[in-house]
Amino acid sequence: PIALEYARCIFSDQSVQFVLGDATMLPFEGSEYDLVHSVGLIEHFPDDVIETMVQEMVRVTKVGGHIYVAVPNYFSP
């Protein structure tokens, strides 16, 4: 809830919808999105939870859609 309030302040001048949810049980219908992405999140969880998160990403992505996952790389300049 705190992160959502922060985001609402930052994007208050834009038409953006925010949804509070759980990455292991996304509150969306299946095959709903052309693009699903995660940036700097999944690396904070154990492998079994990451597997569930990725399965959820696949579930809500349309056939032919794209999934983008970015994680920090300590060794990258």
- Output the pTM of the full model: 0.82
Number of helical H runs and strand E runs in the chain: 2, 2
How large is the average pLDDT for residues 37-64? 96
| pLDDT tens digits for range 39-48 | 999 999 999 9
Any idea how long the chain is?
Answer: 77
Alpha carbon distance 12, 50 (integer Å)? 31
How large is the average pLDDT for residues 16-23? 92
Alpha carbon distance 71, 48 (integer Å)? 17
